[in-house]
Amino acid sequence: MHGKPALRRCCVALVEPSEVASFDVGALLGGRDPRRRTPRWQVFAPHLDSPVILDESAVTALGRLSETQWTAYATAEASISTDTLQRMIDDGLVLEEGNMTRAHRRDLALREAQWHPLLAVAHVFSRWTEVDSLEAQEASGIHSTADMIAASGLPPPHFHARGDILDRATLERPQPNAFDALLLRRATCRNFDKDVALSSHGLAVVLHRTFGEQAREEIEPGAIALKKNHPSGGGLHPLEAYLLVQRVEGVDPGLYHYNVESHALDRLPTPAEFDIADFARRMVAGQHYFADAAVLLVVAVRFPRSFWKYRKHPKIYRAILIESGHASQNLYLAATELGLGAYVTAAINEIDIEAAFGLDPLLEGPIAVCGFGPRAHTRTTVELDPSERVWDATGHLKQPT
């Protein structure tokens, strides 16, 4: 009897062919083409922290193992070399029955979460850590719209008209009302007042209108449907709000989770040597104007909540992104109605956020960060305000009318 555990491959492994470029000086001196392209295969497995590089024989070997059935080691070894098997075990692509390594536990979590394979790869490997998007922009040499036009030409036209229309029906323009005025004041804020705290009332109103429970219904025993102020795929409402509070009256600065059932903030443990201002900037990938908000709110997703109904469904991730857009728009409107500034950004360091709030990206992952709070009285960072409802011509804040 062999005595080694049975094997199976991980449940999701996307193989991408790529090349490694090199320069052969000897070929250059000999008058030959010095450019070399060595093929390689990257394996993207969402239960692992980074891609794994394999050679051609290992890629073929990985495909010989089942993702669901355990294969006796002796059977696997009959067609795959011992060295190749061990290398893939060490990399976490091949799992040993009964050996609960971190890779094995993460693979089980991925299986139980019911992710669609391609969506799991896209979600996990598009996350950032310690990225400063403004530094990257500086390094690119593109500092303005003029620079972008010089590098890439003009953008696609701001209006789009089809050339194959059969007819045109002109539509009535609505008469402006209070809602239109609110929409015109809704503009992304890049100038927050760092000396003024948000009122606890303002925080409560924004949270309740954006993420709060408006009603509930028990569809079946134990199966509760919530009514919130935005649509949700299957009515499941998987979005969660995690907050970094910087300046709110009566609320200590720190990390919080919005408890929807109690309409309350639950204080979370703070990592050792935690610097709130530094973490705020890391959350939004170095966008300092966003980091200045009184409250930074992480829009996170409890994936098993949606995947319970839409198991390995190719469209559910799109539905989740649509829902997060609805929620962020409601946050904008709720904040604007109170005279506050707001923003939403997808340029975030998800991995840093997960570590601080204790989130598992396979089960509960950040999608975006919103911020809100009192606006500054003078504009120091450019904002897009084409309706001129927020700032006057001198860069001073207008009072809502």
Neighbours of 127 (CB within 10 A): 17
Which residues partner with 214 through β-bridges?
none
Q: What is the mean pLDDT of each run of 10 residues along the chain (401 residues)?
A: 84 91 74 79 96 93 95 94 95 97 97 96 96 89 89 92 94 95 96 98 98 95 95 97 98 98 97 93 97 98 97 97 98 98 98 97 97 96 92 89 53
CA–CA dist 313, 354 (Å, integer): 24
CA–CA dist 234, 306 (Å, integer): 8
3-state DSSP assignment of residue 328: helix
Q: What are phi and psi of 383, to 5 degrees?
A: -130, 150
Judge contact between 305 and 215, C-beta under 8 A.
no
The per-residue pLDDT for 25 is 76
Judge contact between 189 and 219, C-beta under 8 A.
no
The per-residue pLDDT for 38 is 79
The per-residue pLDDT for 401 is 53
The per-residue pLDDT for 1 is 43
Domains of the chain: 7-113 (no CATH), 133-137+177-373 (3.40.109.10)
Judge contact between 396 and 143, C-beta under 8 A.
no
CA–CA dist 67, 97 (Å, integer): 12
The per-residue pLDDT for 208 is 98
CA–CA dist 288, 309 (Å, integer): 39
Q: What angle do CA 56, 59, 60 make, to 5 degrees?
A: 90
Binning the chain into helix, strand and coil, the percentages to the nearest 5 are 35, 25, 45
Q: What is the DSSP string of 175-197?
A: PP-HHHHHHHH--B---B-TTSP
